[in-house]
Structure 1
Amino acid sequence: MTDKKTPPQQPRLFPVHSKHMTLEFDAYDSELRCTVCAYLVEELGFERRGERVDGWDEGISPSFVRDGLELQAGWSHWADGDYLLAVCPHGDQLLHDILAAIRPDLSFHPRRGEGH
């Protein structure tokens, strides 16, 4: 039997029970997720806050926080990988903007100068 690796899928953005948006990357530690995380810290000035906690089928990573805006981060087998979760309307918009900057080839091209 051959082991075929499933190609990465386009990330998905949808509301969760809190009515805020979550962006699922459909992969664990993907290059795309690492690029988005670096963009949040290096370009938009977010800080990472919190502890990393790993469970059997899900985990919590430090959140991205800046000026009252927070994106929670983590991974889950239910999400098939890593995710970012907004906790406010500005976070919802930021996740929409991030998804809009992801090309079909999974490269990330944000518009510069978006202050969020």
Structure 2
Amino acid sequence: MRPTLQTAANSHLTIDFNALPESHWEALTTRLMETGGFHRIGQTVMGLDEAILPSFQRAGLTLAAGWNIWSGHYLLSECAAGDEFLRTLFSELGTEGFLPPV
């Protein structure tokens, strides 16, 4: 199942990566930190079928990160700037061949 971009319960956008391989998630986290200017904040909190992962933060923007059995890994915006960032990221990932073909 391909990643999806949708509105979450907090009224902001989320990218659910669904069945994206772990290696793709790791490559994305590296990309966000090395070229996106983000750093990680917080600690991992594990549950039975979910995990809250360290958030990605840069000036004026924080993206929550996590994993659960329904969405796979996900990035969750918490503000309008985060919504715009996730829209752009989702579009770029598809055009760069990062996401699996339809």
Could you tell me the TM-score, scaled by structure 1's length? 0.77
Q: Find 1:60's aligned residue among 52, 64, 78.
A: 52
Equivalent residues of 1:29, 1:82 under 8 A apart: no
Equivalent residues of 1:60, 1:73 under 8 A apart: yes
Query: In 2, Cα distance between the equivalents of 1:104 and 1:31?
Result: 19
> Considering only CA atoms, is the larger Rg found in Structure 1 or Structure 2?
1
Greater fraction of residues in helix: 2
- Tell me the equivalent position of 1:76: 68
Q: Find 1:25's aligned residue among 5, 17, 33.
A: 17
Greater fraction of residues in strand: 2
Deviation track 1:28-55 (CA, whole Å, cap 9, x = no partner) reads 6533222221111000211100000110
What SS does the aligned partner of 1:102 have? helix
Q: Find 1:42's aligned residue among 34, 39, 64.
A: 34
5+ long unaligned stretches in structure 1: 1-8, 109-116
Give the count of matched residue pairs: 99
Identity of aligned residues (%): 36
5+ long unaligned stretches in structure 2: none
What SS does the aligned partner of 2:67 have? strand
Larger mean Cα displacement after TM superposition, 58-67 or 28-37: 28-37
- Tell me the equivalent position of 2:4: 12
Larger mean Cα displacement after TM superposition, 29-38 or 92-101: 29-38
What SS does the aligned partner of 2:76 have? strand
